[in-house]
Amino acid sequence: MKLRCDCGNVISDSTDNLPYKCNLLPDDGYWDNIHQPIVQGVLDFATAIQKGTKEEWLTKYFGEGYPRDLDDASVISDLVGTQLSRGPTAYQCAECGMILIPSTTKNGYAGFAPVDDDWHDVLAWRKQTR
């Protein structure tokens, strides 16, 4: 996926671990739409393994086309990844620092320009200092 910033720079999303991309987890609805479905899905998966109904669980959560030869950790990883990607994805332009977030009122992105020059890597992963 590619999108063009107003400054003309093309932002590319074609690989993992991009320091200028961030999946947003809105606090509004986070518990009901992201956190709780992960907890419930993992619990349901554990119960399905225990009861021998893993096949039905895989169909319910991922459909008929989902691979059946994955180990349990990979299935849980897919479950968590699916839920975490339900929020909007933000991108930061590496040229001008503009943060682009999908618009809620029209097609395309809403742009948020930095107020000063201290904008580099604001969407990159940071180690906690405490």
The residues binding Zn ion (CB under 5 A) are 5, 7, 9, 93, 95-96, 98
Beta carbon nearer to Zn ion, 72 or 95: 95
* Nearest-5° Cα angle at 66, 21 to 17: 15
Smallest separation, CB 86 to Zn ion (Å): 27
Long-range contacts formed by 26-34: CB under 8 A, 24+ apart: 26/87, 26/88, 33/86, 34/83, 34/84, 34/86, 34/87
Beta carbon nearer to Zn ion, 11 or 58: 11
Q: Which two tokens stand for residue 30?
A: 């986070």
Smallest separation, CB 124 to Zn ion (Å): 17
Smallest separation, CB 5 to Zn ion (Å): 3
Beta carbon nearer to Zn ion, 76 or 96: 96
Smallest separation, CB 48 to Zn ion (Å): 47
Q: Judge whether 1 and 14 are in contact, CB under 8 Å.
A: yes
Distance CA 4, CA 6 (A): 7
Beta carbon nearer to Zn ion, 96 or 122: 96
